[in-house]
Structure 1
Amino acid sequence: MRRRFKLATLTAALCLLLVSLSGCGQSLAQKDILQLDRHSNEITWGVKADTKLFGLMDVRDNQIKGFDVDMAKHITKHILGTKGQAKFIQVTSQSRIPLLKNGNIDAIIATMTITPERAKIVDFSNSYFDAGQSLLVPNGSDIKNVRDLNKPGMTVLGVVGANSVQNIKKYAPKARVLELQDYAQALTSLKAGQGQALTTDNGILYGMAVQNPGFKVVGGTFTKEPYGVAVNKGQRPFVREINKAIKEMQADGEYNALIKKWFGNVPGFNYKELER
């Protein structure tokens, strides 16, 4: 009898714990992030720190710098006012959605392409940057475009969690795809000859080419990759404010100034096509 009583008590305790956890999860999902950010006067952004031009750690002052970072700062000011603060947490293509879902960050602005699959689990703003997938190869490479990779023996390098990996499987199905954890590892693998090309969005690749003169971007773009700011589902007021901020930035010239700042002097990159 005593054993049954203990078992019943333990079962009841577990049920209460599960209900409590379920309730906590529900309350987290129901939180109004926009109102919380207005109360704290701070928005916490997930940004990359390994992607030159968009988000790269500056070892001189340990600050992440790039187009996405500046966009986040400007969007924050438009939403919260001139005294609003933007806080940054480093993410990767693999970690950004889990960190958002767990509440570690309020929004993702990290070269994240708007796709139907991702839109099932996050809500996106309107596109703030229209990229396209391309290829990075050594200067002496015979590869001119993605079709040159569609043959046995070819290895294409990509990053875990990036939709560029799935795209290359579609455009060059005969090639082997090797997925690395981040862009730094992927570039190191390309330098070591572990693949014939590295693939991701053209803006990211041009950033790599700037840092690595022995490599070049080839083949133009073979996909359209519109970047959006991602927030958790159920935060439509937050999305509307982000869209409003982006529109205001485009109208008053802030947006084009940031495009020119980060892409205006990149060899081979037509930044004029990005201006709005």
Structure 2
Amino acid sequence: MAVACVLTAALTLLPLAHVQDLVATEDAGGPGVAHTQRAASASCDHPEASLRPSAADGPTIDAIKKKGYLVAGIDVSSYRWGYRDPNKIGNSDPEGFDIDLVHEIARQLLGDPDAVQYRAVPTSQRVDAIKRGDVDIVVRTMTINCERAKDVAFSTAYFETGQQLLAPKNSGITGYNDTLKGKRVCSADGSTALSELRRESFGADISTTVPNQLDCLVRLQLGEADAIVTDSALAAGQAAQDPTIEIKGAPFTEEFYGVAMKKGADDLVRRVNRILDDYRKSGWRKSYDTWLRDDLGATSGPPKPRYVT
């Protein structure tokens, strides 16, 4: 099946949602890429907990099978995660760590890894794209958190990361600390980074926000920002793209990426969790070694799943 990519047009800033309680019944184990202290809310200690896996079909899966393809919201500008390689002439298909997971979900749902219609979704529109029904899933370095869990359903975690600083090598910024005072720090609308900066800015100017996190790199290169806050996994990719900048300090949060789906689509959530169970045993490490190992180094593997029911 031919792959289609459709760019979203609206860039509406999403309001922050209220916190929703999620209670886990199993301990998560296995360290991921980032190892940092978690700043968890007392009412939402484990937002990465999800429904138990199942191979059963249901109304959401039936609708996907009826149309014959999976509509996936992705990024096309995050190096190593979801992007197009301009050096591959004649092939504009997106590729990366997140894209590999999309292919695996399509393969197990529809029997064809290429039965996918891609839609490029800005960081600020990931939740809205799910709520409007524009996409079946979002696989786009999307951190699972309590605010988002109010509006969308998440799979179990497939990657562990944390927020981190990027800045020019010769800057006086040393990390997420008082060296940010008076500095212009860029983050993406609707991102965990912006939420953290609003919680504690260390006197930084945090008014520079963009629809997509990669746009912060452009702002930094143009001299319109002094630093960037983004996920450590994405920060490593941006540092690899521009040798004049570097990661500053250690990650200051612990977070997990998940596949986002519509509230009430329990059959799809459970099936994706079943697919992730298989993927952790085989395809995950191969994909990590292909796309992320050069930038992030060795890994102990994916985070173990945590379930609510």
TM range (shorter): 0.7 to 0.9
Give the one of 169, 182, 193 matched to 2:198. 169
Give the one of 110, 122, 135 matched to 1:105. 135
Please give the secondary structure, in 1, of the residue aligned with 2:194.
Answer: helix
Q: Give the root-mean-square deviation of aligned CA atoms.
A: 1.8
1:209-261 CA-partner distances (Å, limit 9, x unpaired): 1111111112121011201101111100100000010110112x211111111
User: How many angstroms apart in 2 are the aligned matches of 1:273 and 1:140?
Assistant: 33
1:11-32 CA-partner distances (Å, limit 9, x unpaired): xxxxxxxxxxxxxxxxxxxx93
Matched, 1:202 2:229: no
Matched, 1:240 2:267: no
Gap runs ≥5 in structure 1: 1-30
Give TM-score scaled by structure 1 length.
Answer: 0.82
2:83 maps to 56
Matched, 1:41 2:68: yes
2:149 maps to 119
Give the one of 284, 288, 292 matched to 1:255. 284
Quote the offset at 1:62 in angstroms: 2.0
User: How many angstroms apart in 1 are the aligned matches of 2:175 and 2:165?
Assistant: 7
Identity rate, percent: 27
1:6 maps to none
Greater mean alpha carbon deviation, residues 200-209 or residues 142-151? 142-151
Quote the offset at 1:207 in angstroms: 0.8
May I ask how many residue pairs the two structures share in their alignment? 242
Query: Which one has more relative contact order, counting CA pairs under 8 Å at least 6 apart?
Result: 2
| Structure 1 residues 274 and 81: alpha-carbon distance in aligned structure 2, compared to 1, 3 A threshold | same
| Structure 1 residues 63 and 173: alpha-carbon distance in aligned structure 2, compared to 1, 3 A threshold | same
Greater mean alpha carbon deviation, residues 141-150 or residues 192-201? 141-150
Higher radius of gyration, 1 or 2: 1
Greater mean alpha carbon deviation, residues 49-58 or residues 114-123? 49-58
8 Å CA contact 1:113–1:227 kept in 2: the answer is yes
Gap runs ≥5 in structure 2: 1-57, 304-309
Please give the secondary structure, in 2, of the residue aligned with 1:222.
Answer: coil
User: How many angstroms apart in 2 are the aligned matches of 1:197 and 1:83?
Assistant: 38
